[in-house]
A = this chain, B = another copy of it.
């Protein structure tokens, strides 16, 4: 049966090694059942002669086939086709990402992966360095250094620099949150805030409710506590309250983690009614609400962007605020508003985490707030983001009818649902070839569910790029809407990555 193999074409000029080309060729013959289960593969020398390659090439290809469970070997008698699982399962695997890729996507979300300059980056939810108020901040840094000298580098109170806590209490008045310096805990960014709160509220075996989908960093933090994570779907007007109440009864969770305004990744907001109801439910069930105020500041088309904290009469909300998204992520600065009954435990957990947040950065940011530069900057950022937001909305209106999305009223994220027949992950890999990148939805689910959605973010793209990028996105999508999946799979076999 050696002639079955004579169709194999190997190229010495291809970017892939010959043995990998051979691996793919035999793999495909097995998948298409040209080679049957338990069929013997040709002896090494014979196949090498036929294909005019070195013996070693065949040896290595056979080894790789064995490692990837396409063949098995019997000492002294040769190499045989390993009976294969259902082909559909294979396609399913192909559509799922390896853990490594999940990790890459998470990093991309945080702007931590350098994307080549010719790519249009809808993946990063982090503003580009060009938007940072460098000169202003350099000035306050130097002013602080001259004013405070060595004290700018000493240990800071774990709770945070007192004047900064004062400034934040002032700042919060603008957002209708009435609180005191005693309630403010300075943190090294929102991620640390989540981690510190988790340390206080969640012990091994406890349950927390999260919106589904939600922020990947929160999921990771809750997982390190050995916490059971229960997902409640987020709908276009906010969290599914019926399911929430049901799960509260069933799982007796300690807390719920929520982003009530312009949620990440969906951009959805809880309606005012839902917000009030959520506070009631929390009160009734002794549930702590962890409110991650991701971006409530960017309310382009709504005045309903109240935070839960501003309505929290019963002190059940722990409020987390970072300045990363509209200021400078590399500063690692944010704050919590904490009900007084948790105050001491929160300080202790912060102390355990990193003792205190950089004294210099706290002092500089305090001055930045006090001088009113912050207000100027946020006004500027809102203008920049609104322009991008409007361009994005315009382009989304050109999407094919089959595509569904909810028009958010603010924020920087857009959540697109693709029809079931399209695999988002395949679409993702193809989009990259076309020089655009976004984040496939599946990474935002604690259970890594296969999701048919994706997130587009406008934090790192200029209006011109949004136009160009969304044209590419639209064209690719139109092509995809009538693609044959199985055919596509074989035409794109290089997507399969063997274990090397």
Contact = CB atoms under 8 A, between A and B. Distances in A.
Contact of A145 (B107, B138, B357): B138
B150 A132 contact: yes
Contacts of A404: none
Identical subunits present: 2
A221 B199 CA distance: 10
> Which applies to chain A's interface (DSSP): helix, strand, loop or mixed?
helix
Interface residues of A, number: 61
Interface string A203-220: 111000000000001001
Interface in A99-133: 103, 106-107, 110-112, 126, 128-132
Contacts of A348: 103, 220
Contacts of A191: 351-355
A361 B192 CA distance: 18
Contacts of A107: 158
A356 interface: yes
A329 B153 contact: yes
Nearest to A329: B155
Indicate the member of A149, A199, A353 with the most B CB atoms within 10 Å. Answer: A353
A217 B355 contact: yes
A132 B145 CA distance: 12
A149 B358 CA distance: 20
A332 B355 contact: yes
A253 interface: no
A152 interface: yes
A264 to B, nearest CB: 14
B351 A330 contact: no
Nearest to A200: B224
Given A189-B355, A348-B220, A353-B191, A330 B152 contact: yes
Given A142-B142, A157-B112, A332 B352 contact: no
Contacts of A128: 150, 154
Nearest to A156: B330
Nearest to A226: B204
B204 A111 contact: no
A257 to B, nearest CB: 14
A349 interface: yes
Contacts of A155: 110-112, 126, 324, 329-330
A195 B354 contact: yes
Contacts of A204: 204-205, 226
Given A141-B145, A220-B351, A360-B361, 20 more contacts: A103-B348, A110-B155, A129-B154, A134-B152, A134-B153, A138-B145, A141-B141, A153-B330, A188-B332, A191-B351, A192-B353, A192-B354, A217-B351, A221-B352, A330-B356, A330-B358, A330-B360, A331-B360, A332-B357, A361-B361
Interface of A: 103, 106-107, 110-112, 126, 128-132, 134, 137-138, 141-142, 145, 149-158, 188-189, 191-192, 195, 199, 203-205, 217, 220-221, 224, 226, 324, 328-332, 348-349, 351-361
